[in-house]
């Protein structure tokens, strides 16, 4: 797998891309009776297509039953539908075995599951190496693990524009870290990390590797077998699916080593008041009643994504991000983060698309990001403003926060033009 998007259009891209047909499948974006919203916050959560909403409604209206537990037909069908999604996820991320797919409540839950599960394997001599631009969900669980075990959390240094400093990474790998935790795509800046190469280096040093794929899963064709990481985590709501569901992929040997974070029903094999034995994977790590409707919705989201022309979508999103970067760079008083300005000013598709997908971070010079966000909202523009759950990255960039505009497959050039027009008005008001 390539860890960066392919910037060369395929032959299929000679055919017209009907973005209107895609947009019409998303109720919030296609409802004529409500004020039109320019939604540029897909990195926070994507909109949901009709098919996902209908799949969840169908379960609640016609198939509601618990899974794995009932002898009656309704429960058996719910179990089949639920477990079919495990197979879909396995195929979607190219895992070798369906037992490697653990359903969680999201990326945060998945990373916590791993960090908790490794408690008995770390000690005070160990180092936990973390991506310096990581989301808090890929920092705080490791800090909690370090507090329990005495291990030391160590960040990888960043370059001036927020990319991982690969020379610092190599230097810290020489210290033989026990765990290496990386982001596939940085949530605040949309920068793409070369995780396959970085994981390979970490493995050579004997490290346990985890990749946070929350921002990658909807934009990159993820192949966990090629990345070869021990763990890969992502959320359904970033990939046109529902909230409250996510996936932890793990190599079977790595998953077996985890001490379950939650215990109780579903994950057991035998229970007595003297002793309990745990069941086999994946049940061993899925205690309690799972988020059944959400898992079914996740399956529908995978079906939806796979029904689209992936090359068209990828090229469409790349063009949008490059166009967004170019239009922002033409405005006065705008600061851009995590991008190469020389690439943006190119007449061709910028080489910057090798490093950024989905999101662009910016500020109006001298103005508070929250003020910008509020004024944009008054014009119907939805962007994210704040520290983006990446305070260490903001500190590195010398910021208290920033604005982030992010796109999905349903976004279009009209969204970008409307956003830029509104931002010009904001600049006129504030500057």
Number of domains comprising the chain: 2
Take residue 6 and report the two structure tokens written for it.
Answer: 């392919």
Mention every residue, 6+ apart, whose C-beta is less than 8 A from residue 109.
246
Residue 9 lies in a domain: no
Q: What is the CATH number of the domain that holds 105?
A: 3.40.640.10
State whether 410 and 291 are in the same domain: no
In order along its 431 residues, the chain shows pLDDT tens digits of: 334 333 333 444 455 668 889 999 999 998 765 668 999 999 999 999 999 999 999 999 999 999 998 889 999 999 999 999 999 999 999 999 999 999 999 999 999 999 999 999 999 999 999 999 999 999 999 999 999 999 999 999 999 989 999 999 999 999 999 999 999 999 999 999 999 999 999 999 999 999 999 999 999 999 999 999 999 999 999 999 999 999 999 999 999 999 999 999 889 889 999 999 999 999 999 999 999 999 999 999 999 999 999 899 999 999 999 999 999 999 999 999 987 654 555 444 444 445 789 999 999 999 999 999 999 999 999 999 999 999 999 999 999 999 999 999 999 999 999 999 999 999 999 98
Global pTM reads 0.93
pLDDT of residue 234: 98
Residue 121 lies in a domain: yes
Residue 384 lies in a domain: yes
Catalytic center residues: 389
State whether 274 and 355 are in the same domain: no
Residue 3 lies in a domain: no
Residue 6 lies in a domain: no
Classify burial at 53, counting beta carbons within 10 Å of its beta carbon; exposed 0-12, middle 13-18, buried 19 or more. Answer: middle
State whether 159 and 290 are in the same domain: yes
State whether 314 and 363 are in the same domain: yes
- Domain closes at, from 258, 276, 305: 305
Distance CA 271, CA 30 (A): 52
Q: Work out the end-to-end distance of the chain between its first and last CA atoms, rounded to an integer number of angstroms.
A: 46
Distance CA 354, CA 55 (A): 35
Beta bridge partners of 179: 128, 208
Strands 101-104 and 246-250, how do they pair? Answer: antiparallel
For residue 269, what are the domain limits?
53-305
State whether 82 and 35 are in the same domain: no
- Mapped onto helix, strand or coil, the DSSP state of residue 99 is helix
- Domain closes at, from 280, 305, 330: 305
State whether 200 and 247 are in the same domain: yes
Nearest to 230 by CA among 279, 281, 179, 183: 179
Strands 359-364 and 334-337, how do they pair? Answer: antiparallel
State whether 296 and 328 are in the same domain: no
- Domain closes at, from 256, 285, 305: 305
Residue 5 lies in a domain: no
State whether 137 and 255 are in the same domain: yes
Q: pLDDT for 12-44, tens place per residue?
A: 445 566 888 999 999 999 876 566 899 999 999
Classify burial at 86, counting beta carbons within 10 Å of its beta carbon; exposed 0-12, middle 13-18, buried 19 or more. Answer: buried
Distance CA 200, CA 48 (A): 35
Q: What is the CATH number of the domain that holds 326?
A: 3.90.1150.10
Residue where the block lists tokens 């599960």 = 117
pLDDT of residue 15: 57
State whether 22 and 157 are in the same domain: no
Residue 8 lies in a domain: no
State whether 24 and 85 are in the same domain: no
Q: pLDDT for 162-173, tens place per residue?
A: 999 999 999 999
**Buried residues in 320-354 as b, exposed as e (16+ CB within 10 A):** bbbbbbbbbeeeeebebbbbbeebbeeeebbebbb
State whether 280 and 144 are in the same domain: yes
Residue 7 lies in a domain: no
Length of the chain counted residue by residue: 431
pLDDT of residue 36: 83
State whether 298 and 322 are in the same domain: no
pLDDT of residue 413: 95
């Amino acid at each position: 797998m390539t860890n960066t998007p392919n910037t060369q259009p395929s032959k299929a891209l000679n055919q017209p891309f009907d973005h209107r047909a895609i947009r019409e499948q998303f109720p919030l974006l296609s409802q004529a009776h409500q004020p039109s919203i320019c939604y540029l916050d897909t990195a926070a959560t994507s909109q949901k297509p009709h098919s996902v909403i209908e799949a969840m409604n169908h379960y609640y209206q016609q198939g509601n039953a618990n899974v794995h537990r009932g002898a009656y037909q309704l429960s058996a069908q719910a179990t089949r539908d639920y477990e079919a999604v495990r197979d879909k996820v396995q195929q979607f991320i190219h895992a070798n075995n369906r037992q490697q797919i653990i359903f969680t409540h999201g990326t945060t839950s998945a990373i916590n599951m791993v960090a908790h599960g490794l408690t008995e394997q770390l000690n005070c001599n160990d180092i936990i190496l973390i991506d310096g631009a990581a989301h808090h969900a890929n920092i705080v669980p490791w800090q909690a693990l370090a507090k329990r075990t005495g291990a030391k959390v160590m960040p990888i240094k960043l370059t001036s524009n927020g990319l991982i400093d690969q020379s610092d990474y190599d230097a810290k790998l020489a210290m033989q870290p026990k765990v290496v935790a990386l982001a596939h795509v940085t949530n605040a800046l949309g920068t793409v990390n070369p995780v396959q190469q970085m994981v390979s280096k970490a493995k050579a040093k004997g490290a346990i590797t985890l990749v946070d794929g929350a921002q990658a899963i909807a934009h990159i064709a993820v192949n966990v077998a090629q990345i070869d990481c021990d763990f890969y985590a992502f959320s359904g709501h970033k990939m046109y699916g529902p909230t409250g569901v996510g996936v932890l992929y793990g190599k079977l040997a790595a998953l077996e080593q985890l001490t379950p974070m939650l215990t109780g029903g579903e994950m057991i094999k035998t229970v007595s008041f003297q002793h309990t034995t745990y069941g086999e994977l994946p049940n061993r790590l899925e205690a309690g009643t799972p988020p059944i409707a959400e898992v079914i919705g996740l399956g529908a989201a995978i079906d939806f994504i796979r029904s689209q022309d992936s090359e068209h979508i990828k090229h469409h999103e790349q063009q949008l991000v490059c166009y967004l970067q170019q239009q922002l760079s033409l405005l006065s008083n705008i600061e851009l983060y995590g991008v190469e300005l020389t690439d943006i000013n190119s007449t061709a598709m910028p080489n910057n698309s090798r490093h950024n997908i989905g999101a662009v971070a910016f500020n109006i010079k001298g103005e508070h990001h929250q003020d910008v966000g509020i004024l944009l909202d008054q014009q119907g523009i939805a962007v994210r403003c704040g520290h983006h759950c990446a305070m260490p990255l903001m500190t590195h960039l010398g910021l208290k926060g920033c604005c982030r505009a992010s796109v999905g497959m349903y976004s279009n050039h009209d969204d970008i033009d409307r956003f830029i027009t509104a931002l010009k008005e904001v600049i006129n008001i504030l500057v």
